[in-house]
Homo-oligomer: A and B are copies of this chain.
Amino acid sequence: MNNKKESSKTPIRELGKYQLTDRLSARFISSNEATLQGPGDDASVACFREPLTVSGQKLSLEGVDFDLSYFPLKFIGYKTVIHAMGQVMAMNAVPLQLLVCAGVSQRFFIEDLDELFLGIDAAARIYGADVTAIDIQSSYTGLSLAVTALGEGDAGMLTRRSGAHDNDLICLSGNVGAAYMGLKLLEREKRVFTGDSGRDQLPDLKGYEYILERYLKPELPKKLLENLKKDDLIPTSMCLLTNGLAHGVLSIAKASRTGARIFVDKIPIARECFDFAQTDKDLSPLVAALNGGDDYEMLFTIPLESYEILSKEYSIDIIGHICDASHGCMMITPDGKALKLESPGF
């Protein structure tokens, strides 16, 4: 699980559930004024200044959300917290508390849990949330981690998916597709790790730091959302991108009962995606952006009147606009063709 030799690690049974919880809780000192009760009681308690309580939850499961052979425990904790907080931020609310439940099997050591909670702590600190509940239990199968994020919101600022209107601009907080490329790289190099490739070599991750970090340790556009609030720019709709850009656009259009047009040459895709795609003919940067997932960028719509300030003072990408539902959700290619936007399972 980490590089320390397993023989020098401490089995979980040496501490037991309650002492283990105490040990892990000791790291977390609440710093938000809103937090009235942190770990150690039946429930956590907050007194928010804003009238709305906004909450999101993410359950991360071994083998589905992460592969322990290449996903460091620290980053599993970090990314699960990012996911839960991202849901709250996608409503234009501010995450302030985190509840954590972990199911852990006997093959884990106390030092492994320390790693997991190091990542949880890091994400909580960077984004200003308190960890207010910790529950550790046994698991007979894989590692599972449930994180709930709670935050406060202002009713006038709330950004549901359903608020987009005709002619609103469709904006992206950052580039998309890189996380998917990172996942593909790790899957390929995993075969080298486990010897399935038949080649006698070490995993080759050098030069790919950017796409790896986008997959393993995603960040949220907190500063951007704060700046939009300061400038009184309230998105009409917003959605956290976890299942690809196409899914995000389709979600907003469906909830808002509108259509959408996005332009392929406006979709921000990092140079690193193109570089990596050149190593494998089956990889397409555009497909990664549209259907890859795990981007943790915000997709939002904002009235056309804001075009000037957005394009002058914000480093966001305006990739298209909302239109009438009768036009459907289309993607316009550089040569002007309109293709139907699709997302698997939508």
Contact = CB atoms under 8 A, between A and B. Distances in A.
Nearest to A345: B16
A173 interface: no
A197 interface: no
A212 interface: no
Nearest to A19: B345
Contact of A101 (B58, B91, B93, B138): B58
A54 interface: yes
Contact of A144 (B45, B100, B144, B238): B144
Interface stretch (A60-68, A259-267, A270-278): A60-68
Contact of A64 (B43, B47, B103, B142): B103
A201 interface: no
Nearest to A148: B148
A55 B137 contact: no
Contacts of A149: 43
A255 interface: yes
A42 B90 contact: yes
A167 interface: no
Contact of A42 (B42, B87, B148): B87
B158 A63 contact: no
Contacts of A57: 57, 99-101, 133, 135, 146, 148
B99 A18 contact: no
Interface in A38-91: 40-48, 51-59, 61-65, 86-88, 90-91
Contacts of A37: 91, 158, 160
Contacts of A137: 59, 61, 64-65
Counted per complex, copies of this chain come to: 2
Given A57-B133, A59-B103, A160-B37, A139 B64 contact: yes
- Contact count band on A: 35 or more
Given A16-B345, A52-B36, A45 B91 contact: yes
A43 B142 contact: no
Nearest to A134: B57
A13 to B, nearest CB: 10
Contacts of A344: 16
B160 A41 contact: yes
B345 A146 contact: no
A279 interface: no
Nearest to A155: B47
B47 A150 contact: no
Interface in A136-172: 137-142, 144, 146, 148-150, 153, 155, 158, 160-162
A269 to B, nearest CB: 24
Interface in A1-59: 16-19, 36-37, 40-48, 51-59
A147 to B, nearest CB: 9
> Nearest 8 A-B pairs (CB), nearest first?
A141-B141, A146-B146, A42-B90, A63-B140, A59-B101, A16-B345, A43-B56, A43-B87
Given A55-B148, A62-B141, A65-B137, 19 more contacts: A16-B345, A18-B346, A36-B52, A37-B158, A43-B87, A45-B52, A46-B55, A47-B53, A56-B133, A59-B59, A59-B135, A59-B137, A61-B138, A62-B140, A64-B137, A64-B139, A103-B144, A141-B142, A146-B146
